[in-house]
Amino acid sequence: MARALELVGERWTLLIVRDALHGAARFDGFLSSLGVARNVLTDRLNGLVEHGIFERVPYQQRPPRHEYRLTVMGRDLVEVVIPLMEWGDRYLAGDAGPPRIAEHVDCGGHVVSRLLCERCAHPVSSEEVMTRPTGGN
């Protein structure tokens, strides 16, 4: 968990990933959506490219311009973003309700995260989860 947080645990980084999952791809789009300083956005995008979460893809030659597209590694972060979004919606949304919902592209159904036992395939509540060391670093 610590290694993952080193990479995506900083606030702006996770918000950039969230916006990319919503369809943002260009620097100016991230900049206007997030209201982050240009130098901070540049630094975060460069780090995400360096670590394989985004790839820079040219879309214009003169002047050179790039889009930032999520890689497979980056798109897999939806499995982190959805539960975090659900948690925020449950405890922080207020009377107005959640600002966004996650929907299945094919049928429009609400997408939710679930804890599931890999061995027996039963849903697991948070009270039924424990962690243990594995010997890995």
d(CA 35, CA 54): 20
Is 90 exceeded by the pLDDT of residue 13?
yes
Closest CA to 68 of 82, 84, 52: 52
Confidence of residue 135 (pLDDT cuts 50, 70, 90): confident
Tens digit of pLDDT for each residue in 47-92? 999 999 999 999 999 999 999 999 999 999 999 999 999 999 999 9
* Mean pLDDT across the chain: 94
d(CA 33, CA 22): 11
Q: How far is CA 69 from CA 9, 24, 72, 94, 136, in A?
A: 19, 9, 10, 33, 32
d(CA 75, CA 131): 26
Beta-sheet strands, E only, within the chain? 54-60, 65-70
Segment 33-41 shows an average pLDDT of 95
The predicted model scores a pTM of 0.84
Q: What percent of the chain has pLDDT over 70?
A: 99
Confidence of residue 94 (pLDDT cuts 50, 70, 90): confident
